[in-house]
């Protein structure tokens, strides 16, 4: 009996997954992904936005203790991994990329909320970034810059591919929205928002990340390893526009995303 009810719930989950379209919003640091995600959360009642778990990376201990028992060694405090990575990239980039991808996998594996599935024929789940940009934008960039060495890169790619293959459709995306803007614009926004850990970031770092985005989404020269990503639809939007206080532009963006989903 337990077996058949388990099977029933797996079938329900798989059915639910099939009825949800999953999109990720991609773009350089500080381009405005969170603002855009908030905008999309108002696009329809069957849209759900999952914010990026940045705060978890800023306080690793708290993030972990919410999931399981406190860390085994009380004398040592697990700290602000985002800050550690920017202060000492060679020491901490691999650890950071492991933890950020893990926290995102955990989020992407959550089943879609029930109300989302009841609300309409097509439910839309929007993520800020994805386990794919973690790998093909950030980790790859850090490897190319020398913050991740070739052994760490091999290990990262191995577990990443293994987990994506194991989780299958649950972690797949149906489309990508690329908020595209010049690195200089992102630099200005980054300085304006003043997230403490990021204050040492230089324009040339944003330029390398911009190149990674362009290689994947525009030039299509990034080698991706998963079938579902090879021809994934990409909607490119002009992220340099200041849409936060422009309702006409917001409507235009929402229409573009809605059409993209058809």
Q: What are the residue numbers of the active site?
A: 128
Question: 77 φ, ψ to 5°?
Answer: -100, 125
* Nearest in space to 46 (alpha carbons), one of 111, 114, 117, 126: 117
C-alpha 248/C-alpha 237 separation (Å) is 15
CA dihedral 198, 204, 210, 212 (to 10 degrees): -100
Q: Is 61 in the site for ligand DCP (CB under 6 A)?
A: no
Q: Is 180 in the site for ligand DCP (CB under 6 A)?
A: no
C-alpha 60/C-alpha 83 separation (Å) is 11
For 218, residues 6+ apart whose C-beta sits below 8 A from its C-beta are 180, 236
Please give the size of the binding site for ligand DCP, defined by CB under 6 A.
16
Q: Is 59 in the site for ligand DCP (CB under 6 A)?
A: no
User: Minimal distance in Å, beta carbon 226 to ligand DCP?
Assistant: 17
> Which one of 24, 50, 98, 100 is in contact with ligand DCP (CB under 6 A)?
100
> Which one of 24, 48, 50, 52 is in contact with ligand DCP (CB under 6 A)?
52
- Which of 37/43 has CB closer to ligand DCP? 37
User: Minimal distance in Å, beta carbon 106 to ligand DCP?
Assistant: 14
Q: Is 32 in the site for ligand DCP (CB under 6 A)?
A: yes
- Which of 23/31 has CB closer to ligand DCP? 31
C-alpha 38/C-alpha 49 separation (Å) is 7
C-alpha 249/C-alpha 230 separation (Å) is 31
* Nearest in space to 143 (alpha carbons), one of 78, 96, 195: 96
User: Minimal distance in Å, beta carbon 190 to ligand DCP?
Assistant: 7
Q: Is 152 in the site for ligand DCP (CB under 6 A)?
A: no
User: Minimal distance in Å, beta carbon 97 to ligand DCP?
Assistant: 6
* Site mask for ligand DCP (CB under 6 A), range 203-242, x = bound: ----------------------------------------
Question: 225 φ, ψ to 5°?
Answer: -105, 0
User: Minimal distance in Å, beta carbon 208 to ligand DCP?
Assistant: 12
- Cβ atoms of residues 260 and 237 within 8 Å: no
Residue numbers at the binding site for ligand DCP (CB under 6 A): 27, 29-34, 52, 54, 82, 97, 100, 129, 134, 138, 198
């Amino acid at each position: 009996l337990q077996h058949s009810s388990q099977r029933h719930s797996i079938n329900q989950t798989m059915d639910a997954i099939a009825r949800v379209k999953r999109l990720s919003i991609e773009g350089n640091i500080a381009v405005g992904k969170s603002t855009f995600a908030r905008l999309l959360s108002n696009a329809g009642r069957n849209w759900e936005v999952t914010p990026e778990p940045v705060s978890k990376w800023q306080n690793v201990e708290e993030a972990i203790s919410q999931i399981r028992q406190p860390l085994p060694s009380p004398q040592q405090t697990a700290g602000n991994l985002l800050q550690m990575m920017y202060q000492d990239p060679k020491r901490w980039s691999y650890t950071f990329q492991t933890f950020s991808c893990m926290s995102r996998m955990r989020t992407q594996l959550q089943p879609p909320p029930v109300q989302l599935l009841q609300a309409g024929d097509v439910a839309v789940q929007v993520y800020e970034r994805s386990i794919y940009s973690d790998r093909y934008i950030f980790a790859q960039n850090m490897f190319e810059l020398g913050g991740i060495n070739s052994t760490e890169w091999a290990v990262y790619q191995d577990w990443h591919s293994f987990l994506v293959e194991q989780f299958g459709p649950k972690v797949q995306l149906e489309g990508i929205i690329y908020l595209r803007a010049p690195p200089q614009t992102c630099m200005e926004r980054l300085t304006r928002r003043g997230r403490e850990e990021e204050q040492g970031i230089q324009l040339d770092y944003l330029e390398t990340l911009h190149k990674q985005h362009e290689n994947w989404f525009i030039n299509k020269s990034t080698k991706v390893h998963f079938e579902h990503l090879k021809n994934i639809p990409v909607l490119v939007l002009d992220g340099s526009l200041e849409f936060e206080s422009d309702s006409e532009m917001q409507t235009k963006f929402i229409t573009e995303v809605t059409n993209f989903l058809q």
